[in-house]
Structure 1
Amino acid sequence: MKKFINAVEDVENEMLEGMCDAYPDKVERLEGTDVIVRKQKKEGKVAIISGGGSGHEPSHAGFVGKGMLDAAVPGAIYTSPAPDQILEAINAADAGKGVLMVVKNYSGDVMNFEMAADMADDIEVEEVITNDDVAVDNKEDRRGVAGTIFVHKIAGAKAEAGASLAEVKAVAEKVIANTRTMGAALKPSTIPAAGKPGFELADDEMEIGIGIHGEPGISREPLKPANDIVDELLSHILGDDVDYSGSEVAVMVNGSGATPLMELYLMNKRVHDVLTEKGIKVAKTFVGNIMTSIDMAGASISLLKLDDEMKELLNAPADTIAFTQD
């Protein structure tokens, strides 16, 4: 294993310290915790928190700031944060109008965030659970993956505008209902504590439908040209229960950590070509490492079917480490 680390047990702590050192005007670490909070807290608004295991950077702490999250709670690598840390985030983020928790659909995350909400005193807490991964057939079991960031952005903009907790939750649920994601991997990730890849793929193999922690996909196939991979991923997304025909969409081509931007842009070209052929208009595109899997070589495609409200909120200002727009 070759990595730029010191002691394995210090990776998460040193990462958080380095992040705060790099962006002291945007975020800070809540003393005595692993919680990252917005440096300039805005009172009198709904607070939005999210989190999950480390290893997905810039998610989730990279999206703390104006117009997105008010706090993020990283756990150990690929491990849900503990309820007491989530409770610290709830208490620190609360600005007088309640807290919305954006939780990815993994059993540990759901259980720990809900435990923290039950422990919160005198703070109204609601949750939404993201489940955009169409690689899982059973909708109740679908994993929350890169499309979660659409929820952070749109719900965050709604909260920044002064909406009520019920209104922010409603728009978050609308985003979840209209977002679908599918990914593929060419090489696995290596968790520092394990010291070896989480699974094996031959040089001529790829995994279709892989999870963001290296969970198995729906098939292991011979490696194909990029256009064919994109076509296969889009076939699952467009073949699901969201009718994208004639609609406007937001596109996210997300890298898993070790995929060059050159390849992500190449994939994005094919996404745009296919959607154009199908009469689907692309209103906004995001390309880059957005929700990664440490050093996995892979990518995912997310589509969000937009209405006027979601489109306006998607284009609203934001100022975070990983995403800024005026």
Structure 2
Amino acid sequence: MKKIINDPNLVVRDMLDGFVAAYPREVRLLPGTTVIARVDAPAANKVGLVSGGGSGHEPAHAGYVGEGMLDAAVAGEVFTSPTPDQVLEGIKAVDAGEGVLLVIKNYTGDVMNFDMAAELAEAEGIRVEQVIVNDDVAVEDSSFTTGRRGIAGTVFVHKLAGAKAEAGGTLAEVKAVAEKTVKNVRSIGMAITPCTVPAARTPSFTLEENEIEIGIGIHGEPGIERKAIVSSDDIAAELTEKVLDDLKLETGSEVAVMVNGLGGTPEMELYIVNKKVNEILTSKGIRIYDTFVGEYMTSLEMAGVSVTLLKLDDELKELLDAKSKAPAFRC
């Protein structure tokens, strides 16, 4: 497997240095850490918002650091949770006395390490709250999780909670928005090719030339069905219907749609998927308030797509529309 890297053991460090070099007005790398923080963190009189996880999901999570979204993102090694001490440094870097909210994808390592970091921060007098994102409707348990996995819906949690924090919300109010978003967001993905962790040099799983996997995780965890490849319309319909079955939207509901590429899917194909998603929702009387098509939560070079629906109310629509200067989510 060919990759454009230097030392496989230094890909995260090289990536973080390159990211900061690209966006020096927005972010900085805390010395001696894997923490990307806003250049103005900690922002006075503001709740801090921290997320993170294993690398390999870019632009998540560092791409969402900036005004209107995260205050810091903590990077682990590829597909590996950041350590508690690194998360603690992220918490301390953004605490301005109003408390810090941790947004955690539901993977065992992330939950454990972020929880340990929260305990360490609280021992130092920092108020910390947590929300766990579990938007994947594919499976209840997997090789990485107990319960549902957190995938692309996490980006909406970053956006809406970040907007609430930017508007001056209290720690309790920011957490409430994050929890509301988690309650109302659902996702599912599929893959047509695997990905390769740089240090491993071999694919994390295998698919035959004519096979796809429905419900696969962002680390290559098994899905719910492996079958012969079908048309884009059939794929979009299956993913959308599975999300709708779980979210149980009523006619007239308003949603935000995210059609997310997993790293190796051309935008052309993502827009073809979005065309069918739009048709399905419209035919059911579900109103589309906003649509996001692109790469938001990837899996290295995996080719595939995920579909996310977020049920909206007036509060969530206002927060979705709020300004963001994060490099990967500008609005």
> Which amino acid in structure 2 is aligned with residue 24 of structure 1?
P
Show the counterpart of 1:10.
10
**Separation (CA, whole Å) in 1 of partners of 2:250 and 2:152:** 19
**Separation (CA, whole Å) in 2 of partners of 1:36 and 1:248:** 34
Question: Secondary structure of the residue that 1:141 maps to in structure 2?
Answer: coil
Question: Secondary structure of the residue that 2:192 maps to in structure 1?
Answer: strand
- 1:36-47 matches, within 5 Å, as 36-41=36-41, 42-47=43-48
| TM-score under structure 2 length normalisation | 0.97
Question: Secondary structure of the residue that 2:28 maps to in structure 1?
Answer: strand
Q: Does 1:128 align with 2:159?
A: no
**Separation (CA, whole Å) in 2 of partners of 1:166 and 1:270:** 39
Contact 1:178 1:242 in 2 (8 A): no
Output one character per residue of 1:262-311: Cα deviation in whole Å (capped at 9) or x when no partner: 00011111111110000000001111010000000011000000000000
How far the C-alpha of 1:140 sits from its partner, in A, is 6.1
**Separation (CA, whole Å) in 2 of partners of 1:53 and 1:148:** 14
Q: Percent identity?
A: 60
Question: Secondary structure of the residue that 1:300 maps to in structure 2?
Answer: strand
Q: Does 1:301 align with 2:302?
A: no
**Separation (CA, whole Å) in 1 of partners of 2:244 and 2:73:** 31
Q: Structure 1: which 4+ aligned runs deviate by more than 3 Å?
A: 137-140
Show the counterpart of 2:27.
27
Question: Secondary structure of the residue that 2:273 maps to in structure 1?
Answer: helix
- 1:1-326 matches, within 5 Å, as 1-41=1-41, 42-120=43-121, 121-137=124-140, 141-325=147-331
The more displaced of 131-140 and 155-164 is: 131-140
| TM-score under structure 1 length normalisation | 0.98
> Which amino acid in structure 2 is aligned with residue 209 of structure 1?
G
Q: Could you tell me which runs of 5 or more consecutive residues in structure 2 were left unpaired when the two chains were aligned.
A: none
> Which amino acid in structure 2 is aligned with residue 272 of structure 1?
N
Contact 1:238 1:244 in 2 (8 A): no
How far the C-alpha of 1:147 sits from its partner, in A, is 0.3
**Separation (CA, whole Å) in 1 of partners of 2:70 and 2:140:** 30
> Which amino acid in structure 1 is aligned with residue 138 of structure 2?
A
Question: Secondary structure of the residue that 2:246 maps to in structure 1?
Answer: coil
**Separation (CA, whole Å) in 1 of partners of 2:230 and 2:304:** 13
Superposition CA RMSD, Å: 1.1
Question: Secondary structure of the residue that 1:273 maps to in structure 2?
Answer: helix
How far the C-alpha of 1:203 sits from its partner, in A, is 1.0
The more displaced of 234-243 and 2-11 is: 234-243
Question: Secondary structure of the residue that 1:76 maps to in structure 2?
Answer: strand
Pairs aligned (count): 325
Distance 1:244 1:11, change over 3 A: farther
**Separation (CA, whole Å) in 1 of partners of 2:151 and 2:255:** 18
Distance 1:26 1:244, change over 3 A: farther
Contact 1:251 1:302 in 2 (8 A): yes
How far the C-alpha of 1:39 sits from its partner, in A, is 1.0
How far the C-alpha of 1:40 sits from its partner, in A, is 2.2
The more displaced of 136-145 and 205-214 is: 136-145
**Separation (CA, whole Å) in 2 of partners of 1:241 and 1:297:** 26
How far the C-alpha of 1:105 sits from its partner, in A, is 0.4
